[in-house]
Structure 1
Amino acid sequence: MKIRSVKLLTDKLERLKTFYSQVLGLPAIDEGERAFTVGAGSSQLIFEQASAAGASPYYHLAFDIPANKTEEALSWLQSRGIPLNRLSGGELVAQFEAWNAESVYFYDPAGNIVEFIARRNLNRVSHDPFAPGSLLNISEIGLAVHDVPQAKALLASRFAIGEYRDGSDDFAALGDEDGLLILSSHNRVWLGSDKAAYRFGTEVVIEGAGRKGEFEMDGYPYRIVSL
């Protein structure tokens, strides 16, 4: 399953536009007064101005990077003045043995928890210096829910999306290594951050799920389109 685009809300539109297009150097695709779009490999990231006064949305999202570029990614982010988030043990790199992957985390100017993840199973390596083009795609978007098993069953039945690896009552990853919808129980703290999962308006366009169609989750501000 591939994530083709993700649309998120923000109350810091101009700061995010500068960050993603100038600091991270992602190519601009579209720009307006209330939204902008940048490219990240085969995916598009869209930020739209939040309509509610005082709203400060934040999300967890992950970008895939080549499997051999974690250390270069660390140096590259630091060279751009981006503070890296440390894990509970003080380390900068999270190791996921079950996923055969490793990640680094940081906040963008709106407090979104951004992850660069190197998935060794995909065998995507690069011998070029780390650069904006090293972001291969958006591979994860987090969705906070009150009942993870119920939400998992609902999405599985609607789109025929299977679970990736073993989840739990407060966490589940739906899809595969190319793209994952990350279900987190409400108020569970996102790894690589000190922020609790919360519900904010999210639109995701996926491709390669078992079924096509559009779906809005009852009780949640989430819209998922399967191509």
Structure 2
Amino acid sequence: MIINKVTLYSHALNDMRNFYVNELGFELLSHTDDGFEIKAGDSVLEIKKYHLQEKPFYHFAMNIPTNLFTSAKAWAKSKVELTREDEVDEVYFSYSNAHAFYFSDPSGNIVEFISRYSVSPKSEAESFSAQNVLCISEINITTNEVRTLGNQLVSFGVPVRKAETISEDGLNFMGEHEAGSFLLLGPSKRRWIFSDRESEIFPLSIVVNQQLEISLDGEGLMELKKVE
């Protein structure tokens, strides 16, 4: 599965545009008074203005080249404060054979940069910049109807990683393990690692494989439709 585009919402639109474009150096693709889009490798991240009183936040990850993890971490530390878990600021996931680090953006999103050694390519670059991001590789789908939505995704061709059983209480990685991109389907009120925040339900939309649009409303209900 390939994540082509992710649309999130923010209460701090101007701060978010300044952070991603001016501070981190992502390429600005478009902007209006109501939102903006940046290039994240082969994916597009769109941030739209949230007009209600709540302050939406999400977890998403970006794949980075396997030979630039150390450089990417140093680059990030020169711009933001990395978040920590058990007194360390990076983690190795043995199940996925991947290293990752995390930070927060002005909306309070839990942002992850991850090198997946078995699926992500190396880069010819000697040092990391935002232009070396490969793609958006994870985005949460938080709902209190985990099994129902999981079965819907499966019926539209998005499998559970390695044919695992859908867990109503845990985090389900939806997508092929070999592709290295996943929809993180899980319930509200579970803590995100490298954060003190618990998952909450906020609207978002995702386009995968250039053919499926997934939309989540503020109640955690999902709509799936083919992209024409």
Q: TM-score, normalised by structure 2?
A: 0.89
The secondary structure found in structure 1 opposite 2:74 is helix
The secondary structure found in structure 2 opposite 1:122 is coil
Instruction: Judge conservation of contact 2:66–2:115 (CA < 8 Å) in 1.
Output: yes
The secondary structure found in structure 1 opposite 2:66 is coil
Aligned residue number for residue 114 of structure 2? 117
The secondary structure found in structure 1 opposite 2:161 is coil
Give the drift of 1:122. 1.2
- Select 1:134's aligned residue among 98, 112, 132: 132
Give the drift of 1:133. 1.2
Aligned residue number for residue 193 of structure 2? 191
Matches within 5 A, 1:168-183: 168-169=167-168, 170-176=170-176, 177-183=179-185
Give the drift of 1:29. 0.4
Identical pairs, percent = 29
Provide the rounded CA distance (Å) in 1 between the counterparts of 2:82 and 2:158. 32
- Select 2:153's aligned residue among 152, 155, 162: 155
Provide the rounded CA distance (Å) in 2 between the counterparts of 1:33 and 1:4. 23
Instruction: Judge conservation of contact 2:206–2:214 (CA < 8 Å) in 1.
Output: no
What is the number of equivalent residue pairs in this alignment?
220
Residue by residue over 1:159-205, the C-alpha shift from the partner in whole angstroms, topping out at 9 and shown as x without a partner, is 12111144644210101234211012211011221111111110101
Provide the rounded CA distance (Å) in 2 between the counterparts of 1:62 and 1:102. 12
Give the drift of 1:74. 1.3
Is structure 2 residue 13 aligned with structure 1 residue 13?
yes
Residue by residue over 1:12-36, the C-alpha shift from the partner in whole angstroms, topping out at 9 and shown as x without a partner, is 0000000010111000100100110
Matches within 5 A, 1:86-105: 86-87=84-85, 89-105=86-102
For 1:185, give the aligned amino acid: P
> Bigger shift: 175-184 or 196-205?
175-184
Residue by residue over 1:18-61, the C-alpha shift from the partner in whole angstroms, topping out at 9 and shown as x without a partner, is 00101110001001001101101111000111121x22000000
Query: What's the Cα RMSD here?
Result: 1.9
Give the drift of 1:149. 2.9
Aligned residue number for residue 161 of structure 2? 164
Note the residue ranges of structure 2 that are not aligned, 5 or more in a row: none
